[in-house]
Amino acid sequence: MTTIEMRTQAEAQPRRRFFQLDTPAIMVLPGIVFMVVAFAIPVLILVADSFRDAGGFSIGGYRKVLGDPYYIGIIWNSLQLGLITTIGSLLIGYPAAFALSRAPARLQVLLFALIFLPLTVSIIVKTFGLAIMMRRDGILNWLLLNVGFIDRPMRLVFTEFALYFGMINVFLPLMILPIYSVMRQLDPRLTDAAASLGAGPVTTFRRVTLPLTMPGVVAGISLVFSISVAAYVTPGLLIGDRFMTMSQVMAKAYLNIRDFNLGASMAVVMLVIAVTIVFTSTYFAEPASRRGRKG
């Protein structure tokens, strides 16, 4: 082949661009830009504020948050709140998701409406409704009195019972939906095959159902814990300052005492806790899911 022919053949071939955007990349680009502007940049500013005070660079906020027993107790309150809310939502939400995935079509529509309806209502409205329901003259005390469990009305509002009851009520749909989305894809013949091989209901659930639905469980746990540990409205309305959380400290630091370094440091600690829980739960869920697929 001559030099002229080689040059002609090279010019005929389309040149590869060093950087080329295809249609999916162009479609996802606005979402990436929005997340960078609305999430990544504010988080970076928050992290920068946690290392800066009026005099310049400072770790005084972290020293106060992680070294003061008062703030350590508040961090523990938030972790306890997130943990109990997540466990309660999981214990109620897993059977509910299983029943929802096995329900007939018409009943499933009704159950979905009951799950989605609370999500359309403001969390402030729901929390006020719960507070009214748990007053001394509320419906909950009325039921307990008429059933005979108590002799006189109990004080339920501004107690830890009201807090945990309200938190589970608010965040339960966020646990049910991810688990249901996985359960509805589970082939019922797998449990029938396990039963035909001699596995009892407990063994079938432990060796087949639970491992295969673990991705939904992990998603629900991650979602509920990461949001409930940062809850502000529900704890503030149902228990007030008697049970301080990290989000309440952040709000007071920014709005009342104007200590931005303290508020940013507490926010970074809360962010690290939430991210750690998400990655840890995902890490431990993968082996169980693999065992379920192998089984």
What average pLDDT does this structure show over 182-192?
81
- In a domain, residue 261? The reply is yes
- In a domain, residue 19? The reply is no
Q: How many CB atoms lie within 10 A of CB 207?
A: 15
Between CA 108 and CA 199 the distance in angstroms is 29
Name the range with the highest mean pLDDT among 44-48, 83-87, 143-147. Answer: 83-87
pLDDT of residue 8: 55
- In a domain, residue 212? The reply is yes
Alpha helices per DSSP H over 184-240: 188-196, 201-204, 210-212, 214-228, 233-238
- In a domain, residue 195? The reply is yes
Per the structure, the count of domains in the chain is: 1
227, 284, 277, 267: which is closest to 81 by C-alpha?
A: 227
- In a domain, residue 13? The reply is no
Q: What is the CATH number of the domain that holds 197?
A: 1.10.3720.10
- In a domain, residue 18? The reply is no
Residue 219 domain boundaries: 68-294
What average pLDDT does this structure show over 80-84?
94
- In a domain, residue 92? The reply is yes
- In a domain, residue 21? The reply is no
pLDDT of residue 289: 52
Per residue in 101-142, pLDDT (tens digit) is 888 888 888 888 888 888 888 888 888 888 888 888 888 888
